[in-house]
Amino acid sequence: MNKADSERMAGILESMGYREAGAELDADLVLYNTCTIRDNAEQKVYSYLGRQAQRKRSNPNLTLVVAGCVAQQEGESLLRRVPELDLVMGPQHANRLETLLTQVDAGQQVVATEEHHILEDLTTARRDSAICAWVNVIYGCNERCTYCVVPSVRGKEQSRLPEAIKLEMEGLAAQGFKEITLLGQNIDAYGRDLPGITPEGRRQHTLTDLLHHVHDVEGVERIRFATSHPRYFTERLIDACADLPKLCEHFHIPFQSGDNDVLRAMARGYTVERYRRIIDRIRERMPDASLSADVIVAFPGETDAQYRRTLDLIEEIGFDQVNTAAYSPRPNTPAADWDNQLPEDVKVERLKEINALVERSARERNARYAGRTEEVLAEGINPKDPSQLMGRTRTNRLTFFSAETVDGRRFKPGDLVQVRIDEVRSFSLSGTPLNR
């Protein structure tokens, strides 16, 4: 989500005539797009800002901007902490960057953190990839997970209209993009703020309906979406993913904990049993689907036995990838004020143990690719070996292969290549291309 915001803001800066500087410390304008999901992400911002603030003292023409979730969370107090700042802007204001910079040019110090209706995106993002693009479908989050800062910094859910989303995808296809990832903090909530009921009495706009609506955009070869919330993941959605050929067989469904009491304390609104049923259903319809998730260890009050249930669930399900984090108390979240916080050494120990399990699980899951032929979308050149291209399987596995075809021509980014997998590692694959 942050990366998508950064690409949009970079696009606005380019349209205003800015060009990328050689280095961070040479630029006339520096914008940090920040993350506050955990404390260590937030602390990084302050160390970067320290260096820039120092530069500004000898170079008053330098424009300093902090965007994103730290900006939203800290607002005015960021100016008190770093008075050299020109602009502090929350994530809902990303599309307004040009207007805000005009106010800065007029000599103001600007803080833009008020709740804002996100304008339909008229700017063109400066995308890092020419092959894969992000498309926002819903902003914000209406859940109230007790550990999470996202609802307070990204605000209420705002869905884009299906027509606007499709139009953006058609534009991307015309520019040669082949893979689209639809984005939302809680993408299953898509459409619940939009009006409309079907004759059968269902909500008219759901993620499933959106997938059907955008599936036929010509030129787009692959569609993905993230992030899914187990509470809203429906059978209808699973069926749509199985039935629509462009929908890739990879699902990112965070479960956060393998223990029902911890899930209740997190206010996640589902049980481990429900999570298992979703996974079973996915595997019934798409036996080879890859699965990834997020988990938090050392949530306040988590006992050793509860933590072990998280390990057991990882073992039982066999994930292709799990993002792990130790609980980090965040401002304005209920769990941060509880008095059953766990000590740092427990966090470090649990994280280390779970990461070892995740690596083993990923390696075991990857073993199934050995000797198989997979469709890989070439995304770019392998920076470590220019004779190779890299891309991903439909199941989202990073794969390296020779850029040369059997008859001596070269594959290029954007090609769909059949690759025979010769080598499997924990988090990537290598193979031989078979197309002519």
What is the contact surface with ligand SF4 in residues (CB under 6 A)?
Answer: 141, 143, 145, 148, 150-151, 185-186, 229
Using CB distances below 5 to 8 A depending on partner kind, what does residue 32 bind out of ligand SAH, ligand SF4, none?
none
Q: Please state the separation of Cα 28 from the chain's center in Å.
A: 29
Question: CB-wise, 38 or 246, nearer to ligand SAH?
Answer: 38
Minimum distance from CB of 227 to ligand SF4 (Å)?
A: 7
Question: CB-wise, 104 or 336, nearer to ligand SAH?
Answer: 336
Minimum distance from CB of 157 to ligand SF4 (Å)?
A: 9
Q: Please state the separation of Cα 184 from the chain's center in Å.
A: 8
Point out which residues bind ligand SAH (CB under 6 A): 37-38, 147-148, 150, 185-186, 227, 229, 254, 256, 294, 296, 325, 327-328, 330
Question: CB-wise, 52 or 328, nearer to ligand SAH?
Answer: 328
DSSP symbol at 249? S
Using CB distances below 5 to 8 A depending on partner kind, what does residue 113 bind out of ligand SF4, ligand SAH, none?
none
> Residue 22 has which token pair?
């050689």
CA distances from 364 to 53, 251, 325, 367, 368 (A): 48, 18, 22, 5, 8
Q: CA 28, CA 51: separation in Å to the nearest integer?
A: 14
Q: Find out whether 133 and 380 touch, Cβ atoms under 8 Å.
A: no
Question: CB-wise, 56 or 160, nearer to ligand SAH?
Answer: 160
Minimum distance from CB of 228 to ligand SAH (Å)?
A: 8
Minimum distance from CB of 117 to ligand SAH (Å)?
A: 21
- Cis peptide preceding 198, ω within 30 of 0: no
Q: Find out whether 38 and 328 touch, Cβ atoms under 8 Å.
A: yes
Task: Please enumerate in sequence order all residues whose Cβ is within 8 A of that of 210, keeping only pairs 6 or more positions apart, or say none.
Answer: 137, 162, 165, 182, 190, 191
Task: Please enumerate in sequence order all residues whose Cβ is within 8 A of that of 156, keeping only pairs 6 or more positions apart, or say none.
Answer: 115, 140, 142, 193
Using CB distances below 5 to 8 A depending on partner kind, what does residue 327 bind out of ligand SF4, ligand SAH, none?
ligand SAH
Using CB distances below 5 to 8 A depending on partner kind, what does residue 330 bind out of ligand SF4, ligand SAH, none?
ligand SAH
Using CB distances below 5 to 8 A depending on partner kind, what does residue 325 bind out of ligand SF4, ligand SAH, none?
ligand SAH
Report which of 136, 141, 224, 155 is spatially closest to residue 186, judged by C-alpha positions: 141
Question: CB-wise, 127 or 160, nearer to ligand SF4?
Answer: 160
Minimum distance from CB of 125 to ligand SF4 (Å)?
A: 22
Q: Determine how β-strand 416-424 pairs with β-strand 373-381.
A: antiparallel
Q: Find out whether 418 and 435 touch, Cβ atoms under 8 Å.
A: yes
Minimum distance from CB of 307 to ligand SF4 (Å)?
A: 19
Minimum distance from CB of 154 to ligand SF4 (Å)?
A: 8
Question: CB-wise, 251 or 327, nearer to ligand SAH?
Answer: 327
